[in-house]
Amino acid sequence: MVNALIYKPLPAFSVHTVVFKSRDTAMPSPESSLLQSWHTNADAWIEAIRSGAIESRQQVTDQAILLAIMGRQPQRVLDLGCGEGWLLRALADRGIEAVGVDGDARLIEAARLAGAARVHVASYEALVDGKVDIGRDYNLVCANFSLLHQDIIPLLAAMNALLVPTGVVVIQTLHPWSVAAGDYQDGWREESFAGFKGQWQPMPWYFRTLSSWLNALDMAGFQLAGLQEPQHPQSPVPQSLLMVAERR
């Protein structure tokens, strides 16, 4: 939010550090709680996206991911964690064949009803295990604020296998420096959605440093080809981290 005197980062997520202590077998894992939060928050998320309620997306990050994708001139794109499908629609409007996949059936149904013909419901675990056929020979796989769990290397490697030899992955995520809140080390955090209207279930998500992101890409068979820090001209901090990586 920007006022006349003090510039603050535009709201994307209001991040709080959370420590996950030892659990007995009855307690859900952070990963399962993450997926459950999307099930619970699906309708509120659809409303937030379609009403333009997230200022940082409207002013900076939506355009940033579109420009990064269009700069590669892909013919076929896979939107990993497509949500309610806004990016699928934007790409289709620009003549690009776009396929979406998401772990929440409500979000996929919303994407389908809004005109996205090729969308799939699949958990990231199912994608890693190859249990769902979402196509292959993509020129580009994009993940727009959708890599929120801890072990992303197997998923990135699975996406690598779906790309053509010259394919790329485009990832936009929360900027580690902007959201570290003085704790710059990998670990689980919690998003409370405190700045959002409506009823929301808090969401665990996994914070990783820049070096951790780059190491994950390397271990999944990618090499960094471009790095951007999209920023609003009236904000002193970047609104996101955007990486483009090519297959090795």
* Beta-carbon-side half-sphere exposure of residue 41 (alpha carbons within 13 Å): 23
At 9 the pLDDT is 47
Query: Residue 6 above 60 pLDDT?
Result: no
In sequence order, what are the residues at sequence separation of 6 or more whose Cβ sits closer than 8 angstroms to the Cβ of residue 224? 214, 217, 243, 244, 245
DSSP assignment letter at 24:
-
Structure tokens at 20: 């996950």
On whether the CB atoms of residues 136 and 110 are closer than 8 A, the answer is no
Looking up tokens 């499908």, which residue turns up?
Answer: 85
Q: In whole angstroms, what separates CA 11 from the centre of its chain?
A: 16
Q: What is the mean pLDDT of residues 161-169?
A: 98
More reliable by pLDDT, 195 or 212: 212
- The total number of residues shown for the chain amounts to 248
Q: How far apart are CA 58 and CA 230, in angstroms?
A: 12
pLDDT-derived band at 22 (thresholds 50, 70, 90) equals: very low
Q: In whole angstroms, what separates CA 137 from the centre of its chain?
A: 21
Which pairs with CB-CB distance under 8 Å and at least 24 residues apart come from 48-52? Answer: 48/196, 48/197, 48/198, 49/83, 49/84, 49/86, 50/84, 50/86
At 7 the pLDDT is 34
pLDDT-derived band at 25 (thresholds 50, 70, 90) equals: low
What is the distance between the terminal CA atoms of the chain, rounded to a whole angstrom? 40
In sequence order, what are the residues at sequence separation of 6 or more whose Cβ sits closer than 8 angstroms to the Cβ of residue 213? 171, 173, 176, 241, 243
Q: Which residue ranges form the domains of the chain, and what is each CATH number? A: 15-21+29-247 (3.40.50.150)
At 12 the pLDDT is 53
Report the relative pairing of strands 241-247 and 97-102 from DSSP bridges: unpaired
Q: Which of 2-11, 14-23, 217-226 has the highest mean pLDDT?
A: 217-226
pLDDT-derived band at 36 (thresholds 50, 70, 90) equals: very high
